[in-house]
Amino acid sequence: MARRRPDESDIRIRPPRSTRPRSKDRPEHKSAITARVVTVDRGRTLCRTENGIFVNAMKARELGKNSVVVGDLVNLVGDTSGMEGTLARIVGVQPRKNSLSRTIDDAGAFEKTIASNIDQMLIVAASANPEPRHGFIDRCLAVAFDQGITPIIVMTKSDLADSRHFLETYSSLDVTAFAIHRGANLSEITKKLAGKSSVLIGHSGVGKSTLVNALLGGEHRATGDVNDATGRGRHTSSSAIAFELPTGGTIIDTPGVRSFGLEHIDKSRVIGSFEELQPGLALCPKNCSHDEEKCGLNGFIADRPDLQRRVAGLRRLLTASAQPIT
């Protein structure tokens, strides 16, 4: 009997060695320490340990790309001494309590996370030069209510224009607002930031980095001027970075935002943050948009002037994606 000639079915192809784990038993990293991410820049991550030591680290391959952002609590192994020339390794990211994310536009599927584990969001807008935009602030507020982040509106350059009329739009949401200018007393803002993790977000040129420098008492971030031809600010910050405040707490400065899509938010969580309106929401028909004639909120607030303002604020947030950012 003739010997059978082997064919392709007899050949067993093994995966490349670079993608095949050496063992099915992966390390548990029981000796890993916890640290908070301060900044991420071109693949290298600066972390601050619980002892206040700053450690340079790189991500383990299995974590994947864009898996670590400022504010994350991570697990570090390797050389965590923080000495010059040392490099630790991030082997895990602890669960986030919330995150500040955006999509490129309202139809975009790609979600970009800016920061995580945030207590407060400082929405920074200029009273003038560049002109403030309701659309951008509406979108930021929608994300804040979606993620359980306390929003604070900060109007800079108040010496150039009066922002009180602009801020009246948000009185129904009971959002804390400040109007400041260069050299102003920041004691009230400092009290709000003490002991909290706060993030600054806004267009380029509105004064985010200038505010950070004033809070920290030094030139920690580069600042720039507004372009006279376009009326927009120049990008002076290329990555987000967290600073420890002298009074306690953390402030995260972020690069200027030009687009802020809301494709990723869950409107049910925005609605759920208005606890006093839940009895009225229970009267709504199925798939109610909460801005129509048959909405249960209309009858619920008919003789409740105190709640009419809150419903107006809720409806503004639910239609934030319809507001242009520019």
What's the number of domains the chain is made of? 3
Q: Which of 70, 68, 116, 112 is nearest to 96 (CA)?
A: 116
pLDDT at position 221 over 70? no
- Is there a single domain that holds both residue 177 and residue 281? no
Q: Give residue 22's pLDDT.
A: 64
- Is there a single domain that holds both residue 122 and residue 202? yes
- Is there a single domain that holds both residue 143 and residue 37? no
Q: Give residue 245's pLDDT.
A: 93
Residues in the chain, how many? 326
Domain final position from 226, 253, 280: 253
Structure tokens at 296: 């249960």
198 vs 119: CA distance, rounded Å: 6
The β-bridge relationship of strands 73-78 and 33-41 is antiparallel
pLDDT digits (tens, 9 = 90+) for 22-45: 666 777 888 899 999 999 987 789
- Is there a single domain that holds both residue 127 and residue 211? yes
Is residue 71, in this structure, part of any structural domain at all? yes
**Does the CA dihedral 232-236-240-243 come out positive or negative?**
negative
Give the DSSP per-residue string, 188-200. Answer: HHHHHHTTSEEEE
Which amino acid makes up residue 250? T
Is residue 235, in this structure, part of any structural domain at all? yes
- Is there a single domain that holds both residue 143 and residue 206? yes
Q: Which domain holds residue 61?
A: 33-93
pLDDT digits (tens, 9 = 90+) for 88-137: 999 999 999 999 988 876 666 678 899 999 999 999 999 988 888 888 88
Taking all residues of the chain, what is their mean pLDDT, rounded to a whole number? 85
Judge contact between 197 and 71, C-beta under 8 A.
Answer: yes
Q: Give residue 169's pLDDT.
A: 83
- Is there a single domain that holds both residue 57 and residue 181? no
For the chain, the straight-line distance linking the first and the last C-alpha, in angstroms and rounded, comes to 82
Q: Which of 18, 326, 314, 277 is nearest to 146 (CA)?
A: 314
- Is there a single domain that holds both residue 157 and residue 63? no
Judge contact between 307 and 173, C-beta under 8 A.
Answer: no
Q: Give residue 92's pLDDT.
A: 92
- Is there a single domain that holds both residue 67 and residue 134? no
- Is there a single domain that holds both residue 123 and residue 215? yes
Q: Give residue 231's pLDDT.
A: 43
Is residue 1, in this structure, part of any structural domain at all? no
CA 263 to chain centre: 15
Which amino acid makes up residue 297? L
pLDDT digits (tens, 9 = 90+) for 128-144: 888 888 888 888 898 99
The percent of the chain in helix, strand and coil, each rounded to the nearest 5, is: 25, 25, 50
- Is there a single domain that holds both residue 132 and residue 243? yes
187 vs 193: CA distance, rounded Å: 10
Coil/strand/helix, residue 321:
helix
Is residue 186, in this structure, part of any structural domain at all? yes
Residue located via tokens 């009997």: 1
Domain final position from 58, 93, 128: 93
Q: Residue 166 to residues 31, 128, 131, 134, 169: CA-CA distances in angstroms? A: 53, 11, 11, 8, 6
- Is there a single domain that holds both residue 152 and residue 280? no
Q: Give residue 265's pLDDT.
A: 81
Q: Give residue 51's pLDDT.
A: 92
Is residue 108, in this structure, part of any structural domain at all? no
CB burial readout 126-147, b (16+ within 10 A) else e: bbbbbebbbebbbbbbbbbbbb
Find the CATH number of the domain harbouring 129. Answer: 3.40.50.300
pLDDT digits (tens, 9 = 90+) for 270-289: 888 888 899 999 999 998 98
Structure tokens at 267: 């409107």
Structure tokens at 146: 């979606």
More confident residue, 141 or 234: 141
- Is there a single domain that holds both residue 87 and residue 43? yes
Question: What string of H, E and C letters represents the secondary structure of 285-298?
Answer: CCCCCCCCCCCHHH
Is residue 7, in this structure, part of any structural domain at all? no
Cis-peptide into 6, omega within 30 deg: no
Is residue 206, in this structure, part of any structural domain at all? yes
Average pLDDT score over residue span 58-74: 90
How many Cα atoms occupy the beta-carbon half-sphere of 61 within 13 Å?
4
Q: Give residue 45's pLDDT.
A: 93
Angle at CA of residue 33, ends 28 and 34, nearest 5°:
115
Structure tokens at 13: 């192809």
Domain final position from 210, 229, 253: 253
Is residue 234, in this structure, part of any structural domain at all? yes
**For residue 73, what pLDDT band results from cuts at 50, 70 and 90?**
very high
Find the CATH number of the domain harbouring 43. Answer: 2.40.50.140
